Amino acid sequence: MTYPPERDENEPGRLLTIGGMALALILVSLVSLLFSANDAREGASRAERNTYNVLVATESFKAAVANAESALRLFVLTTDQTDGTRYYDHWVKAGRQLANLRYLTYENPRQRENIEKLSSLYAQRGKELAHPAVLATYKRQWAAFNAVSEDAENPTAAEMRKILDAIGDEERRRLATRRDHSNSVTDWSNLLDAALAGLGVLLIGSAAWLCYLVLRGIAARRDTEKRIEEESRRAALLEHAVTERTIALVEANNRLRSEVEERAVAEAQLRQMQKMEAVGQLSGGIAHDFNNMLAVVIGGLDLAQRRLSRETQEIARYINNAREGADRAAQLTQRLLAFARQQPLAPEGVNPGILVNDMADMLARFLGERISVELTIEPDLWHVWADKSQLENALLNLAVNGRDAMPNGGHLVLGVANRTITPDDQPERSAILPGDYVVLSVRDSGEGMPPEVIERALEPFFTTKPVGKGTGLGLSQVFGFVRQSGGDLNITSLPGTGTTVTLYLPRYQDVALAQTEEPQLVLPVQPSTPRVRSETILVVEDEPRVRDATVSALEDLGYQVIVADSGPAALDALNRSPQIALLLSDIIMPAMTGPELAIEARKRFPKLPVLFTTGYSGPVSDAGGEHAQLLHSTPVLHKPFTVAKLAAKVQETLAAASVSARRDLETTWAAA
């Protein structure tokens, strides 16, 4: 008899235990995998946030650098310390963003290399921007503006932008990779959640505590997804805001740069126009009439002095005092015209080394024994095209200023040298153009000048000397002469270290022409010994007082004089009196100008010599209008003039006409 195997009553329990243990192991495994998935999800979220933070820090660094450069340009324009502080604050803020970038990218070797390059470029860029900032801080606005203008296409700034773009591209690439990883982790987590939920349904009766873990995992997953979604939304909004702000900053920077350039040009033009308009109105308005009045005064005093030379000394003293006052008024007019750059010049090819060497003895005697004079003249000096007498007066003016700056004696150095100015070698406080120049410098060991005095040193009537010791026109006259000659003037000085005034005159290339020009014929005059002359002179002048003074002077010199008050009247006089030996005419007259009269007169009398007089304040050629070329070949006597100058110019003109007639006669004899 066979018995069935005995059934183990504990087997279901064992199976249940084994099943429960297996389920527990599976549950534990699933829970462990779920926590791992959550940790991975959190890591992916942190990685994405890190990438967004790097992008935000990069754009913040760009914005801080752009704000610093904009504030610096505004500081260069306004020299306002508030703008300078804004520039410094923005630049420091850029440094903090750079440190933040270094912290955020320390785990990425490629980004660390870019950050190191960016740090080096940031330091180099800071040094480049510090140069115009220092210039603007010390009120050297034009030099600072030139430095900022030259910085427009700076390679360091371009390299910084290139590195920043590389950092952004790297982070965006990593962002895409991290998003893919985050999505895959999220999918895996979702799969585990689903499996755990299914297992929970099977174990709902015996594993209630597993449900709690599952629910907590689900809640954690939802919270994580919500945070990821929120961070993604915030990052997108921030990126959009940074992009809009960057575009706005670029547009604002472009507008500011354009406004700075336009404002600088407008301000420079306005200052120059205001200065020249004021002085031009002053000098141009009074020069012509003032010269005519002075011609009457000086001519009348000169005639009175000649005719009363044998009278009492008291009368002569009064006349001398009046004559001295008129001469000083004429000199003041010339100084005003010099500053306005309207004085008539007689330029010629000049070797400045020879000129300074010839002035040495005169300067030594003039400055006195307490001032030692030293010359530093380079060999093989270039020539300059300038008015020799005006250049001598300019150097004498500078030497006198140097002497006045050394009341207890000192050392004066006159230097002459050749110098080629390049765009990188332009002097400070000067608008001189690149090229070849002869540099004349006058350096004293005197008291020196502070910057605020240097700024105003070239203004007319500005002086630091006591009342009665100076007119304030010395330096302004020198400045006007140098500018009218095509050059420039520069002053360097510090209190207690002396002053150096440097003249830059352009090199004159055509030296051979300057050396072969025929010298003017100047004959000696003895105005105090009148004699009867055979020549008849036709005087044409519309101003009655000037005309009377000129006629009296010519009659006192012994000439026969015929008078006309206009061009047509002068032509009638020529027709009536063909014996006229010289036409002495004013240039600017109503109805018919002096050049027009000369052309008509020479149509009838081709050999008639002409001498012009003028009190015009500008260049004589400008007064001729369409006949300006005639003034280059016709002698001109400037008002006011003395009897001696009038006599010399008349004799010179008549002598030149006589020489020309003799040459024509010799040519005729040779042809015969």
Report pLDDT for 334. 61
3-state secondary structure (DSSP) of residue 204: coil
Indicate if the pLDDT at residue 531 is higher than 50: yes
What does residue 154 show for φ and ψ, rounded to 5 degrees? Answer: -70, 130
Report pLDDT for 513. 43
- Hey, where are the domains in the chain? 22-271, 349-516, 536-671
One-letter amino acid for residue 644 of the chain: A
Task: List pLDDT tens digits, range 78-88.
Answer: 878 888 888 88
Indicate if the pLDDT at residue 439 is higher than 80: yes
The residue behind tokens 């020549």 is: 535
Rounded average pLDDT over 233-244: 88
What stretches of 261-409 adopt beta strand conformation (E)?
347-350, 371-377, 383-387
From CA 262, how far away is CA 256, in angstroms rounded?
10
From CA 137, how far away is CA 84, in angstroms rounded?
8
3-state secondary structure (DSSP) of residue 351: coil
Task: List pLDDT tens digits, range 275-295.
Answer: 645 554 455 555 555 666 666
229-233, long-range: CB within 8 Å, 24+ apart, which pairs?
231/45, 231/48, 231/49, 231/52, 232/48
CA distances from 177 to 47, 48, 284 (A): 10, 10, 79
The residue behind tokens 């991975």 is: 40
Q: What is the DSSP letter of 463?
A: -
Indicate if the pLDDT at residue 345 is higher than 80: no
Show Cβ contacts of residue 137 under 8 Å, excluding neighbours closer than 6 positions.
79, 84
Indicate if the pLDDT at residue 307 is higher than 80: no
Task: List pLDDT tens digits, range 536-594.
Answer: 999 999 888 888 889 988 988 889 999 999 999 999 999 998 889 999 999 888 878 88
Element of type H or E holding 582: strand 580-586
User: Which of 178-182, 189-193, 539-543 tops mean pLDDT?
Assistant: 539-543
Report pLDDT for 572. 92
Report pLDDT for 3. 46
Task: List pLDDT tens digits, range 397-431.
Answer: 888 888 888 888 899 999 999 999 888 777 765 66
Report pLDDT for 527. 42
Burial class, 657, CB count within 10 angstroms (exposed 0-12 / middle 13-18 / buried 19+): middle
Indicate if the pLDDT at residue 4 is higher than 90: no
Report pLDDT for 392. 87
Q: Take residue 480 and report the two structure tokens written for it.
A: 């006007």
For domain 536-671, give the fold.
Answer: Rossmann fold (3.40.50)
Report pLDDT for 522. 36
Q: Do the Cβ atoms of 130 and 88 come closer than 8 Å?
A: no
Task: List pLDDT tens digits, range 615-649.
Answer: 765 554 555 455 656 666 788 888 878 888 899 99
What stretches of 589-662 adopt beta strand conformation (E)?
610-614, 636-638
Rounded average pLDDT over 341-348: 64
Q: How far is Cα of residue 154 from the mean position of the Cα atoms in its chain?
A: 20
Q: Please, what is the average pLDDT of the chain?
A: 77
The residue behind tokens 């180099």 is: 124
Rounded average pLDDT over 32-55: 76
Rounded average pLDDT over 253-282: 67
pLDDT over 70, % of the chain = 69
Question: Predicted confidence band at 16 (pLDDT cuts at 50, 70, 90)?
Answer: low
Report pLDDT for 511. 54
For domain 349-516, give the fold.
Answer: Heat Shock Protein 90 (3.30.565)
Element of type H or E holding 411: strand 410-421
3-state secondary structure 38-106: HHHHHHHHHHHHHHHHHHHHHHHHHHHHHHHHHHHHHHHHHCCHHHHHHHHHHHHHHHHHHHHHHHHCC
Show Cβ contacts of residue 198 under 8 Å, excluding neighbours closer than 6 positions.
none
Give the sign of the dihedral formed by CA 315, CA 320, CA 325, CA 327.
positive
